[in-house]
Amino acid sequence: TTTFATGLNGPVDVWLGNNDFVYIAEYNGCTIARFNSFSNEIFRFAGTGVCSDTPMQGIATVTPLSNPIAVCGDSLGNIYITD
């Protein structure tokens, strides 16, 4: 967990989810961040913060991403990442 004041590392796409969370694709940070406007905090939603080109399966927060460029979702609450 970090605060919004610490900054983001290369944000390239933003999506406002159904639950009023803001999802941010961080290209240089190799993560998807989730901003909670109620608590004013940013949480790592996906990625480890270490870039990797090796495809892996697993839980989103422990699986590396490789420079994500987009994030979006659907009405069922599924989140999609273009990496």
**Nearest alpha-carbon partner for 33 in 45, 16, 20:** 45
Q: Output 76 or 20, whichever has higher pLDDT.
A: 76
Which single residue is written with the structure tokens 């967990």? 1
pLDDT tens string 8-24:
888 999 999 978 899 99
pLDDT on residue 3: 44
- What are the backbone dihedrals phi and psi of residue 73, each rounded to the nearest 5 degrees, phi first? -155, 180
Quote the CA–CA distance of 52 and 35 in Å, as a whole number.
24
pLDDT on residue 54: 82
Q: What is the CA radius of gyration of the chain?
A: 12
Query: Does residue 38 carry a pLDDT above 70?
Result: yes
pTM assigned to the model: 0.85
Query: Does residue 25 carry a pLDDT above 90?
Result: yes
Quote the CA–CA distance of 29 and 40 in Å, as a whole number.
20
